[in-house]
Amino acid sequence: MKTRQLLHLAVVTTLLVPGLPAQKKSGIDLSGIDSSCKPCDDFWRFANGQWVDKNPIPATQSSWGTLSLVVEGNRERLRVLLEEAAAAKSPAGSGERKIGDLYAACMDTEAVEKQGIQPLAAELGQIEKISSAKELLDTLVAFQKNSPFGPVIVFARQDSKNSSETVASVSPTGLSLPERDYYFRDDERTKAIRAEFLVHAARMLTLAGAPPEAAADQARAILAFETKMAEPRLTNVQRRDPNATYNPLGLKGTAELTPSLDWKAMFARLGIPESTQVIVSEPAYLKAVEKEFAATPLATWKTWMRWKTIAGAAPYLAKAFVDENFRFQSTVLTGVKEQQPRWKRCTSLVDETLGDALGEAFVKKHFPPAAKSQMNALVENLRATLREQLEASTWMDAETKKNAILKLNAFRAKIGYPEKWKDYSVVKVDRGNLFASIESASEFSRMENLKKIGKPLDRNDWGMTAPTVNAYYSPLRNEIGFPAGILQSPLFDMEADEAANYGAIGAVIGHEMGHGFDDQGSKYAASGDLRNWWTPEDRKKFEARAECVVNQFNTLDVGEGLRHNGRLVVGEALGDLGGLKLAYRAYKRALGGKEAPVIDGYTGDQRFFLAFARVWATQLRPEATRLRLTTDPHPLGRFRAIGTLQNMPEFHKAFQCKVGDPMVRPVDKQCELW
């Protein structure tokens, strides 16, 4: 089960603290406001118009917004840390030495160029030697340990109905396009992407040594093969139902779906006990894979395996591979014009592969204890406020309220960083060999995951690294997480008035808490188990309230005749709506009945809503917009602000908006959760 994340959202706040000055600065960037736009016509434009006009999307980005500035600020901080670590030559085996050496290896483009395609020689050679169906199957089993790119992947996950235990999960993998429907949609944009994929795959295969004509034929075979493999896959909306992907079949039942694969040998190779529970996410897909073992020619399987090997390694190979990978993945799919500087890609690589070692260094320098204390206090204020909301709810009966409050009380809040950092001592980092270093780190990560199978849940695990600019909720763990990366300037302002901080980070925390009660999270109990805790009548009432949000986002016009898929974004939209209402009430609770000051001409309520909308001052390239609408469960930033505020009478009152204004939905269509 994947954690639920608030896409690229990161801000920090402070509570009212006795002894601080009675009035602080507003915390609102007045220069970003477009006063030529009426707030009741388009509040997103009113709050952000001037900033958006003055800050076009950089050529290296698919989107750009205020949160991008936090990301870029952290990258600069990481760059300093990594350059210092690379120059310091700390003791061999230490985390500081490993992150410094990996960064140096990544920055050594001359050494990477000299290697060319050589890092893949052994794996490609192993594929080339396959001469029978048995050897194909044996190779797919062998690759599960270090290169799990085959049609399925085995990994550790919590048992959804016994969440304290970690079991084996078998899930589909192997598609090259963004998601299933890209193989079947017939609109011109999607057809153009498929055509570009054929060019892309052929170019990659040619770079790896295939003759151009043969490479073009192989690319067509790859697309045809993946189209067959995509057909039985669940859609991104179907996968939102956790019951649909919970199929506890055990090793025996899994093997019955795909008897051609030697599952016992695979589990032995991966160190997984045969007695462990096995959850199959998509049984129909496994049946289809079994058919393809017999129906698809051996040569096609080998071509596909070569392609997946090259595609997976491309970002870490010579410049020609990196450039072609960027052209398709970034330019074609998201409209990005230029690659990011090498140092930015290298900081991201170190964060992805040695995240705890880098995170430990980041926290020491950029996350003071006071920030953690402030966040803990804020989380508890929102928790208390949500408890009051649940107790006062008029549509839930006593039993449902009791269970909802039990779940809220059980929320774990993780702030900043893990209690125990990972030990990377077995990872071998060679300053002169980037690819070998990545392979070692990847194998460590893979085996660390697999070793959890059959063991009790490790509560120390985090869903993100400490420098990450994001936040998350995990329904199986019933926990919310806020990495240290979100607790940075310019959005964390100790001198700012509480209205700005509650409107920003308060809404973020409320959003993550809200995921515990969205269309997916509401199906999990306080323990994290997938179990119904609603009375039948209350569940129907909840579904009706969720349906209001589905209908709203199905009808929001995002331009060029495009719409969100309401059933795809309903969870995030519910999180936004419930989270902002919760943050607003928590803000009022923090004021303790006192009137907020008017600062820079805006009341406390107005500044609260300005801060919320300012978080979503994000613009996207057209290609990125279309990709997001089809694959991302988060609504587009502009409409996270507009769609949420259209349902909030508190906002309407603050800016004197009336029924009939674009920012006010008809009263009988306004959505509300609690």
Which amino acids are annotated catalytic?
512, 576
Inter-CA distances, 360 with 15, 112, 369, 467, Å: 27, 28, 14, 9
Residue ranges of E strands in 68-132:
none
CA pair distance 359, 672, nearest whole angstrom: 39
Return the number of other C-beta atoms located less than 10 Å from residue 529's C-beta: 19
Beta bridge partners of 413: 480
CA pair distance 506, 33, nearest whole angstrom: 21
Return the number of other C-beta atoms located less than 10 Å from residue 214's C-beta: 13
Inter-CA distances, 502 with 70, 361, 473, 499, Å: 18, 29, 19, 5
Structure token pair of residue 508: 């973020």
584: region left, alpha or beta (phi > 0 left; psi from -120 to 50 alpha): alpha
Return the number of other C-beta atoms located less than 10 Å from residue 17's C-beta: 10
Inter-CA distances, 102 with 344, 357, 364, 431, 668, Å: 13, 11, 20, 6, 58
CA pair distance 117, 113, nearest whole angstrom: 9
Beta bridge partners of 165: 456
Selection from 520, 525, 518, 563 nearest residue 545 by Cα: 518
SS3 state of residue 610: helix
**Pair type for strands 278-280 and 63-65:** unpaired
CA pair distance 363, 357, nearest whole angstrom: 10
Return the number of other C-beta atoms located less than 10 Å from residue 162's C-beta: 16
Q: Is 378 exposed, middle or buried (0-12, 13-18, 19+ CB in 10 A)?
A: buried
- Please name the residue that has the structure tokens 């450039």: 323
Question: Is the Cβ–Cβ distance between 193 and 333 less than 8 Å?
Answer: yes
CA pair distance 102, 86, nearest whole angstrom: 8
Beta bridge partners of 64: 619
